[in-house]
Structure 1
Amino acid sequence: MTTFIASPAADSPVRLSGTIRHYRVTRDTASFFFTQSDQSKFGAIAVAASLAGLGGQAMATAANATSLEEEADFVQFRIDGVELKGWLWRSPFKEGDVVDVAAEWRDDHYEVLGVVRLADRTIALYPHCTRGRRTHVKNAMKWWFYVSLFFDIGMVALSAMLNTPVVEYWTGAFEDGFGWFMGGMHVVIAIAVYSMTKQWMPFVRVAEKVFQTLGLPNPAGVDLVKWSKGKHKPEDSFEYGAMFFRY
């Protein structure tokens, strides 16, 4: 098993169009993003998100929290004799597909950043590249709201267990200093979500450039996770909507 330390970069991607030839794909592990400190943050928020009902997001986050390496597809193929290779989170493509590719030139090949199959508008990108800047920020705010709500509901449940009215409980809690602790916890959650939002920004910038290169409208407002809902096909693998998408 080979480990690749990868970092996203998309200074000037170009659009290549044609038919996939000599297609090869290898499922492998690589360290794309996370550090040890990120691991603990994601583990805590994954639990809260799961309890808040964000099943898909929680599953992906929990998977990321268990290891610093993630699985992805390393693809290699040719278009009109030009060699392309790179990482896609999950590649649903095959030999003979007509595609558009966003890629950057390296020393002897094009580095793949995103691929669209034109027939059914199926798209796969470099890992974690799923949203534009505006939708990324909106998604982070949703996470902050749900995780904060989870803690608040927990406190209301505690009040019910103690058979104490909520107002009375909180009044006493603030008198004892516990209320200030809970207020501090909300601040900690906000800081953690803000930190992760910033850490994802390199992927957001790459995603926007790929969206622009491939001709998707309003790159800052793209949300592939949301757009993929309702477009599932029977032949799609379970990663559809999380690792590859349709728009």
Structure 2
Amino acid sequence: MSEYFQIIKGKISDLKVIDTSLAVFGSGALNGLPAISQALIGDNLAAASQVATSNRYEDESDFLNSVQYFTCKIGNLEVRGIFCRAFFRNGDQVEVVVEPCDEDGYFAYALRRPIDHRLWLYPWAMKGSKANNKDALKNVGLFILSIYLCNLVLIIVASNNLDDFVFGVSIITPLYILLFLIGYFWYKKLLGGGSKEADKIFATLGYPDPKTVDMEKEILEVFINNKSTSDPDFYFDTTTEEYLRKDPDGVKWVTFYREAPPIPDYITVIDTELDDNLEDNRI
């Protein structure tokens, strides 16, 4: 398996979107999404529609699992994928990070729209693996430490002598270490479920250190770090129709980026506008 994806450039056409749920594609089996999505290729919209209908009531109350399955064409190439909300449109000029499917077409892991610096990402793939580990360590560590210190104060107050204090500390310390480990690995699994895909996505897009990329911090850099949409040197044109479109409800794993790094020469890039008759050559 290649350590990089491929990139398809061009305009979106024949876009179709179906509401569904991550639960449909396997319990936590994010790595299986490309293979499972191929089951929908033959009659993809009918199959996805049945899936969405049969799970409608569960999906409505499941914010984390709510996603959209989409199919479209970039030039003559068929692309399908699963994003939280596929609110790009026909005619949008995009760069799509893809992997060839076993039979035909491509599965999308990310979609970048340069005109307004939007980036749609594979579920849970907002951070590289190192960034996710660091975030888990920080958030879980601070939470557990704050509770531990509160309990330590209570032990000091309740202790009549040094022996009582030592006994109390010896009881709660292993307990909180265990709670930290449970919380740390749970956080990594839940919020970092797409980190391996994120590493590969960001490497394909040319980020120098893809494992440390954190798009949650990137969006803060876009709008907060000495920048505003009224700044004439803002990162992108905020008067475009694409930027002014209202986002749908429930958006997650969709972000803004500051400046796109150059795509490395060793990445396979298919520019569908260089040849309007380009066929799916399964590179």
Give the TM-score normalised by the residue count of structure 2. 0.60
Tell me if the contact between 2:73 and 2:79 (Cα under 8 Å) persists in the aligned partners.
yes
CA contact (8 A) 1:136 1:204 kept: yes
Q: Please give the secondary structure, in 1, of the residue aligned with 2:97.
A: strand
**Of 10, 13, 16, the match for 2:8:** 16
The reply to whether residue 123 of structure 1 matches residue 119 of structure 2 is yes
Which residue does 1:5 correspond to in 2? Answer: none
Between 1:174-183 and 1:117-126, the stretch displaced more is: 174-183
Partner of 1:224: 215
State the secondary structure of the residue aligned to 2:107.
strand
Quote the residue 1:84 is aligned against. 79
Partner of residue 26, structure 1: 18
Which amino acid is the alignment partner of residue 245 of structure 1? T
Inter-partner Cα distance in structure 2 for 1:219 and 1:24? 31
Q: Offset at 1:192?
A: 1.2
Q: Secondary structure at the match of 1:155?
A: helix
The verdict on how the C-alpha distance between 1:202 and 1:237 changes in structure 2, with shifts beyond 3 A counting, is closer
Are 2:7 and 2:97, in contact at CA under 8 Å, matched by a contact in 1? yes
Q: Is the 8 A contact 2:4 2:204 kept in 1?
A: no
Mapping of residues 230-241 of structure 1, within 5 Å: 231=222, 235-237=246-248, 239=250
Structure 2 residue aligned with 1:49: none
| Aligned match of 1:163 | none
Contact 1:34 1:68 in 2 (8 A): no
SS in 2 for 1:16: strand
Whether 2:164 is the aligned partner of 1:175: answer yes
Match of 2:131 in 1: 135
CA contact (8 A) 2:141 2:180 kept: no
The one-letter code sitting in structure 2 at the alignment partner of 1:81 is N
Q: Which runs of 5+ in 1 are unaligned?
A: 1-8, 36-65, 160-165
Q: Larger relative CO (CA 8 A, sep 6+): 1 or 2? A: 2
Shift in alpha-carbon separation, 1:187–1:19, aligned structure 2, 3 A: same
Partner of 1:108: 104
Q: Which residue of 1 aligns with 2:254?
A: 244
CA distance 1:34–1:105, shift in 2 (3 Å) = closer
Structure 2 SS opposite 1:229: helix
SS of the counterpart of 2:22?
Answer: strand
